[in-house]
Structure 1
């Protein structure tokens, strides 16, 4: 082939190669795979639990001393001695403080002298009255003179009683300079030290709280109160009233049970609750005033109750929702009506069936209708997350 022929064929060859390239590209575009939807969301789900369940009622309570006494001085004076340290356990009648008693001893001496003087005056007036009565009988003096002597004797007798009462008050004031504990209990650490001046009826020297037994004060809703009263035919049922348990702030269970001892006279208008006080023995002095604890009571048994973990429940606008694994492993949001709590579980009164599966993990970004990749777990897996 001549050089001229080769120059003539080269453009035609380039055109043919370009056509082949366009054809292959078009064919490749036609075989492009279709776009796929979002990947399934990985979640963990549980089967709804169905079993006979005892209902547990829990209320937030606070430990309160049965007797809490603010000790005030009945007489004024400087504190000259302190017989106890703050925080110590004290007993009824135990000396705590001594107030300077010098002025009260002097008052007793003065009142004793005044009483003796009034008694002498009275004895003299009484004898005068008796003599005048004899003279009246002999017509030796006028009746008016005898009556005046008798009145003077009565006035002197009243003065004797007044001075005797004043002396008794002075003696009591002297006794009150020694301040003793009115109850068994523990004294606070904010007590006054020696050298302070105590104002009668005003200065709080210390506070003593009884420690055994103690009250635990708690409040229940009006609805719970009505339910219990109806169950007990007008009174709290003994199953609730006489067998209360305590869960302390560290999660431990107090070893002794208590019972309701006081119920408030009415419903608090601000909170809609009624206040109760339960008494608990406290021999080890473990419970201290001001401690918080949960008051726990066992109630009735719900037959075939449906339960789900608390973490499965989401709240929105005052309503409760769970995400159910629907047909085809699709996410479905469902409103539920919750009953009482049982430990870490909710009793579901409406909205779920025993065959339902509820999502317990992976709820954060889950949308209704989303495809799910479900891993089924049990209740023990929730209690031991490290083993999942």
Structure 2
């Protein structure tokens, strides 16, 4: 009886030892398996990469005309409605211009009068002045000739003793006076021919020119009453109605050219310097699934004084008018491009304690190792590696953040449980034995 109890106790003790040994073995294997971190990894790729310059903007029209009258007058008629397409030169609004047309008619009458005055001056007044001056010269010449002959005859009679000296002197004085009168008439004729005639014509021409200028001004005032579109586009605003008074200088109709829209970006100078007119850009519009293609159409030659940025215009074709002015958009442009760049996914980049940039690679021993790298161009998807990495390195692309150096890793889906097949063989044997 004593022997049986001793044997039974020995068996129980043996089984307990085996159970404890099996449990300890399983605990070690489970601890070893749980220390392996599952990650995703890939080798660096080599290919072209372009720097992406992104900015937000508001779509603006290609051109815009805020049309304001130059005169204050009631609106007589409106020929277009909001949303209507118009062409350059098309009549949009007519103002009441009856008083202006009356002033223009008065100016045309003044021009007619001035033109007649010029005709009279050239064909009548001026020739009469010349003719009178020529007549005066002829009369003065005849009187001079008579006085000279008389003086000569009396001088001869005086020499013969048939005439007194006094009478001879009187005849001589009359001849001198006649010569003076002739000289004055000749100079007057010359003045009429050279000065008076030209001055009278110029005066008449000046009056005609002045009258024509006033007519042009009056006709311009009449034209101001008709508001025409300076561009092709769409009427976007027309706040007044017929009968209301349009004030001079106040916008009463707005036309926008929306056949193309402009995303006006403000970029830092280093980024703007990498762009050229004609470069392509991607424009993302809310509600539109796929990005649209735009083109750089303008680069400001000067910095904005307030923000020290460069204004860049990206042109978006909009022939159907489905995109609206004022829509917020996100624009991406390509800057510097490297044709053969070593690249890794952006998620592979991890920060280092010293502030440098690093990646985590899988060593030959299956452990993780952080490696400092120098990066170049960054995009939302990939990052250029300038130095610090080889094409054969296996870089952890997901699950590497926060890993300590030397951590055992395996490639799989991060966060997945360790499968039965992944357990060490010794652990499975111990479990089978238990």
Q: TM-score range by the shorter chain?
A: 0.5 to 0.7
Partner Cα distance (1:326, 1:134) in 2: 120
The equivalences for 1:88-237 within 5 A come to: 88-126=84-122, 127-139=124-136, 151-189=199-237, 191-200=239-248, 202-218=249-265, 222-223=269-270
TM-aligned CA distance change 1:322 to 1:294, over 3 Å = same
143-152 or 115-124, which moves further after superposition?
143-152
**More off after superposition, 156-165 vs 121-130:** 121-130
Q: Distance in 2 between the 1:339 and 1:261 partners?
A: 28
- Cα distance between partner residues in 2 of 1:300 and 1:87: 43
Report the CA distance shift for 1:195/1:370 in structure 2 as closer, same or farther (over 3 A): farther
Give TM-score, length-normalised by structure 2: 0.59
Deviations 1:60-98 (A, max 9, x none): 365443332232223332223222222332211222111
Cα distance in 2 between the residues matched to 1:222 and 1:98: 48
**Please, which runs of 5 or more residues in structure 2 have no aligned partner?**
1-26, 138-184, 415-434
Structure with more of its chain in strand, by fraction: 1
Deviation at 1:132, TM superposition (A): 0.7
CA RMSD of aligned residues (A): 4.4
Displacement of 1:162: 1.1
- Partner Cα separation in structure 1 for residue 38 and residue 242 of structure 2: 69
Tell me how far apart the structure 1 counterparts of residues 43 and 266 of structure 2 sit (CA, whole Å).
32
Residue matched to 2:384 = 347
- Asked whether the equivalents of residues 233 and 256 of structure 2 are also in contact (C-alpha less than 8 Å), the reply is yes
Moved more, 191-200 or 367-376: 367-376
Matched, 1:60 2:55: yes
2:283 and 2:54 map into 1 onto residues whose CA distance is 10
SS of equivalent to 1:188: strand
1:345 and 1:275 map into 2 onto residues whose CA distance is: 28
Distance 1:203 1:110 in 2: 29
1:152-204 deviations in Å (ceiling 9; x for gaps)? 5532331221111211221222122111111111232365444443344x222
1:47 is aligned to 42
Distance 1:188 1:114, change over 3 A: same
Which structure has the bigger radius of gyration? 2
Whole-angstrom distance in 1 between the partners of 2:38 and 2:309? 40
Tell me the distance in 2 between the aligned counterparts of 1:272 and 1:360.
39
Q: Distance in 2 between matches of 1:329 and 1:283?
A: 59
Length-normalised TM-score, structure 1? 0.65
Residues 42 and 397 in structure 2, CA contact (< 8 A), matched pair in contact too: no
Aligned residue among 253, 277, 298 for 2:291: 253
1:224 and 1:320 map into 2 onto residues whose CA distance is 23
Which of 66, 78, 82 matches 2:78? Answer: 82
Q: Aligned equivalents of 2:36 and 2:237: distance in 1?
A: 59
Q: Which moved more, 1:128-137 or 1:341-350?
A: 341-350
2:37–2:408 CA contact under 8 A, matched in 1: yes
Which runs of 5 or more structure 1 residues have no equivalent in the other structure?
Answer: 1-32, 229-235, 379-388
| CA offset digits 1:211-235 (Å, max 9, x no partner) | 234445446655456667xxxxxxx
| Cα deviations by residue, 1:77-126 (Å, 9 ceiling, x for unpaired) | 22232222223322112221111212211211221233233334444444
Which residue matches 1:357? 395
Q: Is the 8 A contact 2:77 2:95 kept in 1?
A: yes
Preserved CA contact (<8 Å) 1:86 1:188: yes
The alpha-carbon distance between structure 1 residues 318 and 345, as it changes in their structure 2 partners (threshold 3 A), is: farther
Equivalent in the alignment of 2:340: 303
Q: Which moved more, 1:89-98 or 1:260-269?
A: 260-269
Q: CA deviation at 1:134?
A: 1.6
Partner of 1:14: none
Q: 1:96 to 1:226 in 2, by over 3 A?
A: closer
Question: Secondary structure of 1:67's partner?
Answer: strand
Gap change, CA 1:166 and 1:304, over 3 Å in 2: closer
Greater helix share, 1 or 2? 2
